[in-house]
Amino acid sequence: MRALALQALDWSGWAAFLPTLAVLAVTSHTFGWPSLSPDHAHLLITPEVRVWLMVIAQLTGLSMFVLSWRLIEHKTLPDMLLDHSRDLLRPLMLGLSSGAGAISLVALGIMASGSLRLTWGSPAISGHATLAGVGFLIATSFLGPLTEEIESRGYLFQNVFRGWGTAVATIVTALVFAARHLQNPNVSALGIINIALISIGLTLGMLRLRSLWYTIGWHIAWNFSLLFIFGFANSGYSLETFSLSGMSLFSSTLSGRAWLTGGGFGPEGSVVATSVILLQIVIMWRIPAKAS
C-alpha cells in the first residue's frame, strides 16, 4: 500500500508542487525567469518554462522514491536491481539496442503499410529555444526514463513482489504504469494496452537479466528514437507541443487510420507496435534467467 500511495502522490502532482513553487520563487526573483506578465499579476508559463517544470517534477519524483526506498524500506539501490558496478554496462547496452531496434521495426512496419513518409529534418531551432530543447531532451530521454523505471519496476514492483509474488507484481506494475499515461494528450485504448504490454516486456527483461539498467536503457532508446530520430509523438507529447519543431533527424508524416499509425498519441498507439512489443516479450520469455 505504501508503494501505491507514493505512486498516487506523485501522479497527482502534489509531490512536486511545493518544490516547483520554491524553485520558481527563487529564479523569478533572482534571474527574472520566468518573466512576469505585462500587468505583473502572474508568471508567464511559456513552452520553455513548461519543459523545465517537467524536469523539476521528475527530479522531485526521483528523489522521493529513492529516499523512501532507503529510509522507509531500509534498502539499497542494488536491492531494486540497480547495481552501480561495471556489470551495469552489458544490460544497459542491451536495453539501448533493444529499445532502438524495437521502435525502428515499428517505423518500418508503418512505412511498409504506406502510412508513413520520412524526410530529412529541417533544423529550425532559434537561439532562444535552445535551452528549451536541452531541457526537453533531458526530461524525455534521460531523466524521465530513469525516474519512471525507478518508480515502477524499481520501487513499486519490488514492494508488491515481496508480498504477492512475481505474477501479481508484474500485473500491478503494468496496470499502474499504463494508468499513469491516461492523462496524456490524444490517448487511445490501444495506446494504453501497448503501454501495459511494454511494462510487462520490460519487467520480464529486468527479471531475466537481473538488472534495472536493461529497462532504463530500453526506455531511453525508445523515447529518444521516437522524438529525436523519427520525429514521432511520444505518448501524446511531441516536439511541436513545446514549439521545438526541427530537432529530429527525420520529419514524419503519418496518414491513414489511427489504429495503424497511432494518431496523435504516436506509434505507441499502433497495432504495429503491439506486434513488435509482443515479439520482444516472446524473445525475453525464451531467454534463460540469469542466476541471481
Give the 3-state secondary structure of residue 92: helix
Per residue, what are the HEC states of 1-65?
A: CHHHHHHHHHHHCHHHHHHHHHHHHHHHHHCCCCCECCCCCCECCCHHHHHHHHHHHHHHHHHHH
Q: Where are the domains of the chain?
A: 83-286
Read off the pLDDT band of 292 (50, 70, 90). low
Instruction: Write the pLDDT tens digit of every residue in 15-48.
Output: 777 787 788 778 877 777 777 666 656 677 777 7
pTM for this model (two decimals): 0.92
Instruction: Write the pLDDT tens digit of every residue in 225-247.
Output: 999 999 999 999 999 888 888 88
Query: What are the grid coordinates assigned to 196, written together?
Result: 501495459
Query: What are the grid coordinates assigned to 166, written together?
Result: 512475481
Query: What spatial distance separates the first Cα and last Cα of the chain, rounded to whole Å?
Result: 27
Read off the pLDDT band of 270 (50, 70, 90). very high
Q: What is the dihedral of CA 160, 89, 52, 144, to 10 degrees?
A: -30
Is residue 199 predicted with pLDDT exceeding 90? yes
Is residue 53 predicted with pLDDT exceeding 70? yes
Poorest-pLDDT segment among 139-143, 258-262, 285-289: 285-289
Is residue 71 predicted with pLDDT exceeding 90? yes
Read off the pLDDT band of 127 (50, 70, 90). low
Alpha helices in the chain (DSSP H): 2-12, 14-30, 47-71, 89-112, 130-138, 144-149, 157-164, 166-179, 189-209, 212-224, 258-261, 271-286
Backbone angles phi, psi at 251, to 5 degrees: -110, 125
Q: Which amino acid is at 251?
A: S
